[in-house]
Chains A and B, each alone.
Chain A
Amino acid sequence: MKPTLFRFLFFFFLLVAEVSFVSPLVAPFSIPLLLSSLVSLSLVRGFSFALPWALVTGILFDLTFSSQLGVSSLEYMGAVLLFGFASKRIALGQGRWKLIFFSIAVWILSIVFRMFEALLPFRSFQESIFFFESLSAGAWGLFAGSGIVSLLVFVLVFLLVRSFERYLSLFENMPLERASSL
């Protein structure tokens, strides 16, 4: 129970930190702090462990911003699944290269999620067309700019999540298997 509560508080504080501290600080760039942490959890513990946390964290995010409940959960769960499978399949030699590869992948995924939200079925087709029309040079510039910061943040978040999970594994009978390979 204790590790579960700690993990819940960890994701709750990450959520608050992302929307109330990081976002105003680095605006207009966006840093996917929660996405990075869930992907890190998936890499460290495996996707079956990270999936329920993706669901819970997504619900908390949607409750905060009054958006359609479940959209963020769906995105996070998709990311966790994708990275969970990918980490088994992809062999990139040294751990640091894997980390850089995954950090770039997280950044690309955060852009894909923006597009996914614009193309959700409960919004009109006309609006989806408008989204692609209005992806101005400024928007692409912002996406690119966010990339550099996102890469650094992912590496930091991964190290944080790995240390945190190592600490929590002392309370649980569940050793970390993948963390050592990264």
Chain B
Amino acid sequence: MKRRSFFSSRAGKSLLFGIVGVTVIFFIPSIVVSPFRTFFGTAALPFHNVLSFAAYHTRSIGSFFTSVGNLKQNYERVSAENLVLRGKNAALSEVERENEFLRRELGVLPRERFRLAASEVIAIDSTSSGTMIVNIGEEQGVRKGMAVVSGPGVLVGRIVETTTLSSSVLPLSNPKSVVNAVETATEAKGVVRGEYGTGLLFDMVLESDTVREGDDVVSSGLGGDIPRGLFIGNVTRIEPSSDRLFQKATLASPLRYDRLRFVFVVLDERR
């Protein structure tokens, strides 16, 4: 009796189909994929919108119940922070007055720094890259490489892909993300990279530069579309690298990238 080969069986045919399919897909150029991505993104958008809306509301109800126990502690912490902030506010008011005076003297008008486009996070790839999908795209003027911020100038990440009505955001916490940064107090320059888990790493800082715990790190505006001065995080721990040429520091970000709901895309910087 003649024995059938593995590839003539149903299992073998499926396996062959899978191998050939994946091989072909791997080598399809992105220009061919782009229309499919736009079509699928647009078709799935209403479902993403509805389910993300449901998720955020379910989460807010859940957080309300879990936060009840922490209210007293939070109240005490916020009261203490309030005192500190009132002191800082008084000092900043003085600086603001001085700034207004200087602007008047120099004839410089006060201005909003960025032109922003508001958007909502409608999907998160939490199983691998942490990439977020936001509900604005090319139609709203979003382009690849643009910076994404949350609230008053806190950097979230950058746009890595756009379709007509949606865009993908690579958050700073992804190890693929690299942003040129500078420490505000000492002007030490380096790059901020994502760290698996939740942290950020201020890396490639020259050993001769000074980095201090607690100092702010902001984007340096070098080499890309990310403007200078967007807040990234505070230095929490400093350690020398193994080659002793550079030092690196762990940063504490004020944001939880996986908990963001509303973000803003920096369309351009007003000059």
Say yes or no for B123: interface residue by CB 8 A criterion: yes
A2-36 at interface with B (beta carbon < 8 Å): 12-13, 16-32, 35
**Other-chain residue from B26, B41, B51, B197 in contact with A136 (beta carbon distance below 8 A):** B197
Q: Please name all residues of chain B whose beta carbon is closer than 8 Å to the beta carbon of A46 when the two chains form the complex.
A: 11
Which B residues between 1 and 46 are near A, CB-CB below 8 angstroms?
A: 10-11, 13-15, 17-18, 21-22, 25-26, 28, 33, 36-37, 40-41, 44
Q: Does B259 contact A (CB under 8 A)?
A: yes
CB-CB contacts below 8 Å: A46-102 with B = 46-49, 51-52, 54-55, 59-60, 63-70, 73-74, 77, 81
Contact check, A51 vs B201: say whether CB atoms are below 8 A apart.
Answer: no
Q: How many interface residues does A have (CB within 8 Å)? A: 60
B52 at the interface (CB under 8 A from A): yes
A110 CB–B CB distance under 8 Å: yes
User: In the complex, which residues of chain A have a beta carbon less than 8 angstroms from the beta carbon of B52?
Assistant: 20-21, 24
Closest to A18 in B: B127
B256 smallest CB distance to A (angstroms): 7
A contact residues around B176 at 8 Å (CB): 123, 127
Q: Does A172 contact B (CB under 8 A)?
A: no
A20 touches B55 (CB 8 A): yes
- B residues in contact with A19, CB < 8 Å: 48, 123-126, 133
Residue B103 is within 8 A (CB to CB) of chain A in the complex: no
Contact call B54/A63, Cβ cutoff below 8 A: no
With both beta carbons as reference points, the residue of chain A lying nearest to B193 in the complex is identified as A130
A136 touches B48 (CB 8 A): no
Total A-B pairs, Cβ < 8 A:
170
Most chain-A CB neighbours within 10 Å: which of B56, B124, B127? B127
Residue of B nearest to A25 (CB): B55
Partner of A55, one of B21, B33, B258: B21
Which B residues lie within 8 Å of A55 (CB)? 17-18, 21-22
What's the nearest-Cβ distance from chain A to residue B238, in Å?
Answer: 16
Check if A52 sits within 8 Å of B131, measured CB to CB: no
Query: Within 8 Å CB of B160, what residues of A?
Result: 66
Whether the Cβ atoms of B58 and A51 lie closer than 8 Å is no
Complex-state Cα separation, A77 to B25, whole angstroms: 14
Complex CA gap A66/B163 in Å reads: 10
Inter-chain CA distance A51–B25, complex, in Å, is: 15
A interface: dominant SS: helix
A46 and B10 CA atoms in complex are apart in Å by 11
**Separation in Å of the B30 CB from the closest CB of chain A?**
8
Which segment, of A113-121, A154-162, A163-171, faces chain B? A113-121
Q: Are B22 and A74 in contact (CB under 8 A)?
A: yes
A28 and B25 contact, Cβ closer than 8 Å, known pairs A67-B131, A118-B175, A138-B197: no
Q: Which 4 A-B pairs have the closest CB atoms?
A: A138-B197, A139-B197, A66-B161, A27-B258
* Besides A24-B261, A66-B160, A139-B195, 12 other A-B contacts (C-beta < 8 A): A16-B47, A24-B55, A24-B56, A48-B14, A52-B17, A63-B40, A64-B44, A65-B133, A66-B131, A77-B18, A110-B127, A134-B196
Which residues from chain B sit less than 8 Å from chain A, CB to CB? 10-11, 13-15, 17-18, 21-22, 25-26, 28, 33, 36-37, 40-41, 44, 47-48, 51-52, 54-56, 58-59, 121-129, 131, 133, 160-161, 168, 175-176, 193-199, 201, 256, 258-259, 261
Residues of chain A touching chain B, judged by Cβ–Cβ distance below 8 Å, are 12-13, 16-32, 35, 46-49, 51-52, 54-55, 59-60, 63-70, 73-74, 77, 81, 110, 113-114, 117-118, 123, 127, 130-131, 134-142
A-B contact pairs, 29 of them (CB 8 A): A16-B44, A16-B123, A17-B51, A19-B48, A19-B124, A20-B123, A23-B127, A24-B52, A24-B124, A25-B58, A27-B259, A49-B14, A54-B18, A63-B33, A66-B160, A66-B161, A67-B131, A69-B26, A70-B22, A73-B21, A73-B22, A113-B127, A127-B175, A127-B176, A134-B175, A134-B193, A136-B195, A136-B197, A142-B197
